[in-house]
Amino acid sequence: MIKHQVFKSYFDKWVKIVGHAGALNFIDCFGGCGMYDKDSVLHPGSPIIAAEVIENNARTLDRDCCITILDTDKRCTDNIPHAFKYFNCICEYELYNDDFDTYINSLLTNLSNEGKKLYPTFFLVDPYGYKIKINTIKRLMEVKNSEVYFNFMFNAVNRGISSGKVDNTMDELFGCTEWRDCQQLHGIEREACIIDLIRNQFKQFSRYVLPYRICFPAIDRTYFYMIHLTNHIRGCEIMKACFAELNHGKIEYIGKNQNQSFIFDLIEDPVQEIESYICTNFKKLRLSFDELLDKMIDTTPYLGKDISFAVLNLYNNNLANIVRVSSMRQSSKPTKKDIIEIY
């Protein structure tokens, strides 16, 4: 549910801000059956959520938003029309009982052969396991103004790495053999090794890559990571804010402890911590606010609004200067092209 809530919040913003002309695409690469049952209540799955977002924005968007749903399980694709009807969705869609990897590569190759390109596309890659090829994810990110929201099934990958039975699959997932270096590690060190490797591999073709940790509901152990890939700083900033907004300011979901408040949560000052980070890492530098954000947004846990507020505090305390370019008022937080000078 957290995964879907974040997707809904972000996708609603994505359809409004990506480009200003031409169509948009949403491709649900593992669409499932379109709904799921929780506590005897049917909830919409990702294809329905996407359709509802598009319908809600139809009047103001004034552009076509095409939905494509894929799944290899015919029982799932047969149920999708029932899900659309159940949730009263009238949005048109294309439905294929097909393999994600086969369909996507065929589509992109055919378009290329015809001298055509895919319109900006939001790819939701939410597989049942981990049989995913990183080369295919790379092709998705080559589509201009497109983004990928990828479910990296850490718990299953962690088991698979030790099994010795899926080495070829792991090679295709990571795009290298270095995942074997994680085999001898344990606990947090092993998890960090795996996540750092997949993130670094994605960073070779995606400018911003941020993994969001999702724990099991009842225990503080990682279930999976939702990894967001984008080439646009604003996309990374907004996704991060969406996740934090739905998770009490955190950029991870920690299950049963999520709603608990602890003393250190109440007195912790993220802005003060960010000020210290900026002074330590960017001392004597002169750069635009977006350049500063670029260096911090997918490498630190800090939100864009807090980074901006921290810079303003440094300015007010004569520890930095702000040359106004995008923002006008001296009292406002810096944005975009404003020049930041760290003393």
| pLDDT computed for residue 56 by the predictor | 93
The structure tokens listed for 343 are 């003393």
CB 231 within 8 A of CB 141: yes
Q: How many Cα atoms sit within 13 Å of 276 on the Cβ side?
A: 5
Domains of the chain (ranges; CATH) run 2-257 (3.40.50.150), 263-342 (1.10.10.10)
| pLDDT computed for residue 19 by the predictor | 64
| pLDDT computed for residue 257 by the predictor | 45
Tens digit of pLDDT at every position of the chain (343 positions): 889 999 999 999 999 988 667 789 999 999 999 999 988 899 999 999 999 999 999 888 878 899 999 999 999 999 999 999 999 999 999 999 999 999 999 999 999 999 999 999 999 999 999 999 999 999 999 999 999 999 999 999 999 998 889 999 999 999 999 999 999 999 999 999 999 999 999 999 999 999 999 998 888 899 999 999 999 999 999 999 999 998 877 776 655 444 443 333 433 568 899 999 999 999 999 999 999 999 999 999 899 999 999 999 999 999 999 999 999 888 899 999 999 999 9
Where b means 16+ CB within 10 Å and e means fewer, 69-82 reads: bbbeeeebbebbee
Distance between CA atoms of residues 119 and 63, nearest Å: 12
Dump pLDDT digits (tens) for 277-313. Answer: 999 999 999 999 999 999 999 999 899 999 999 999 9
The model's pTM is: 0.92
| pLDDT computed for residue 248 by the predictor | 76
Q: What is the DSSP string of 213-279?
A: EEE-SSSSSEEEEEEEEES-HHHHHHHHHHHHHHTTT-SEE-GGGTT---HHHHH--HHHHHHHHHH
| pLDDT computed for residue 72 by the predictor | 97
Distance between CA atoms of residues 195 and 201, nearest Å: 10
